[in-house]
Amino acid sequence: MLLLAVDTSGKQGSIALAECRARENCAVIEVVPLAGGTFSAQLVSQISALLAKHGHSKSDLRALAAANGPGSFTGLRVGLAAIKGLAEALQIPIVAISLLEAVACGGATGGRVLAALDAGRGDVYVGDYELKPEVLAHSERLLSRENFLAEARDAAATGKVVVTPDPVLAEMVRAAGLQTVLTEYPNSGAIARLGWEHLQRGQTVRPEELEANYIRHSDAEIFSKPAR
């Protein structure tokens, strides 16, 4: 089964094509990087070029996987709009994957995991996961760095592993005397593999149900709230 994965959540993005078979891991055929700031101009053409390079067309796709956040508001909107359009046109399922889940699965093989991503503005995206044969998400939140360190201390006391692809966050946790796992930042290849796992469990969404998992409110939402 041919699966296409898209990640436009960050400053840089990527698309991946994968061949997936029942009871087997998804074999990623190729990951193509996308330059940040130009997702809307290049995403559709890059998908077509990737498929053609490997002798396929859009009609050969059987499923789609998308990183749905947290991350860039504009980038996520572009990527998810493209996925929705493809799914509607081809009548194929979509799997939405949290980047925090991808971080957790990329840095640990089991147990409870605290996944962390730099959210800018002194904040941290934090996901609390339990890695069983399948992944169980307990929470995803936006915390200040101070509250994140407090959460990391609590995590260490209860046997949780802190996992992050961000060297600054990793060093901050280590400086507090806590252990952490520094992992690679997940790309669309990781999204494809997780997407296949979710797909086999029937964890799909319809195009109209696919939404970005921003966690943080946009500036427009924050500043449009009436003063009390």
Average pLDDT over residues 189-208: 95
Do 86 and 54 lie in one domain? The reply is yes
Q: pLDDT tens digit string along 90-113?
A: 999 999 999 999 999 998 778 899
Tell whether the model's pLDDT for residue 154 goes beyond 50: yes
Number of structural domains the chain divides into? 2
CA neighbor of 29 nearest in space, from 196, 190, 189: 189
- Residue 228 falls inside a structural domain: no
Do 72 and 120 lie in one domain? The reply is no
User: Taking all residues of the chain, what is their mean pLDDT, rounded to a whole number?
Assistant: 91
The residue range of the domain holding 122 is 99-182
- Residue 69 falls inside a structural domain: yes
Do 66 and 49 lie in one domain? The reply is yes
Confidence bin at 158 (pLDDT 50/70/90) = confident
**Beta strands 135-144 and 2-7, pairing class:** unpaired
Task: Please give the pLDDT value at position 134.
Answer: 83
Tell me the CATH number at 177. Answer: 3.30.420.40
Position with higher pLDDT, 148 vs 155: 148
Which residue type is seen at 207? P
**Beta strands 2-7 and 111-120, pairing class:** unpaired
Do 175 and 203 lie in one domain? The reply is no
